[in-house]
Homo-oligomer: A and B are copies of this chain.
Amino acid sequence: MPQGETVEFWFDFSSPYAYFAHFHIEELAARHKRAVLWRPFLLGAAFQATGMQSLSKTPIRGDYALLDWERMARRESIPFQLPETHPAISVNPARAFYWLEESHPDAAIPFAKAVFRRCFADGRDISKAEAVIELGASCGVASETLQAALADQAVKDRFRARTDEAIARGVFGSPFFFIDGEPFWGSDRLAMMDDWMTRGGW
């Protein structure tokens, strides 16, 4: 697992701000000769540690967030459609991602991008196993194999361990990044991260 020259990209698949960030993070990392380490986690579990809750469930702030997402999408000409089920429980796609990372490494990142696209470009559900299996198939992964993986206790445990790791490292929002251990929270910190990598910190 590459842990040296990476940009760690921690996110919940049902986070609109992570969706916006995922369009930029690879180009940003590549510019600094780093790889992106994709790290889905369960934001709801982190919220329990801070007493926070989903933006969409927070009065007033939730209205602003919706305005802000639509504004960001228009600004960057990115499709954006909030699923009716938002915020979806992202356990299934995240379990599938970590299983793919180990068993079908070439498919893992294309799968992650396909999850984001289905959720926020198409505004469709990503929480159900059927959706995840369909997304896997679009990345060349046999449906029966992925279906079996989703039911595998070891696969479930691996995702739980990643979420525990996120919380232990102080991840409390999505997206959340680490560059050589330095934490950055939020899709609006990409310019600061760029500066951080250019200058080697400050």
Interface size classification for chain A = 20 to 34
List the B side residues contacting A63 at CB < 8 Å: 170
The answer, among B67, B75, B189, B195, for a CB contact under 8 Å with A188, is B189
Of the stretches A32-40, A44-52, A112-120, the one at the interface is A44-52
Known: A67-B183, A75-B192, A188-B186. A61 touches B172 (CB 8 A): yes
Nearest chain B CB to A151 CB, angstrom units: 33
The answer, among B50, B58, B192, for a CB contact under 8 Å with A60, is B50
Known: A75-B195, A188-B189. A172 touches B52 (CB 8 A): no
Nearest chain B CB to A170 CB, angstrom units: 5
Is the pair B192, A191 in contact by a Cβ cutoff of 8 Å? no
The answer, among B49, B60, B75, for a CB contact under 8 Å with A172, is B60
Is the pair A58, B50 in contact by a Cβ cutoff of 8 Å? yes
Nearest chain B CB to A185 CB, angstrom units: 6
Provide the bound-state CA to CA distance between A97 and B137, in Å. Answer: 62
Provide the bound-state CA to CA distance between A186 and B64, in Å. Answer: 12
Nearest chain B CB to A168 CB, angstrom units: 10
Interface-centre pick from A61, A170, A189 (highest chain B CB count, 10 A): A61
The answer, among B59, B64, B186, for a CB contact under 8 Å with A183, is B64
List the B side residues contacting A59 at CB < 8 Å: 49-51
Q: Which residue of B lies closest to A173 (CB)?
A: B61
Provide the bound-state CA to CA distance between A43 and B93, in Å. Answer: 38
Q: Known contacts A51-B59, A71-B202, A191-B191; can you find 8 more A-B pairs with CB under 8 A?
A: A50-B61, A64-B172, A64-B185, A67-B183, A75-B192, A75-B202, A186-B188, A188-B188
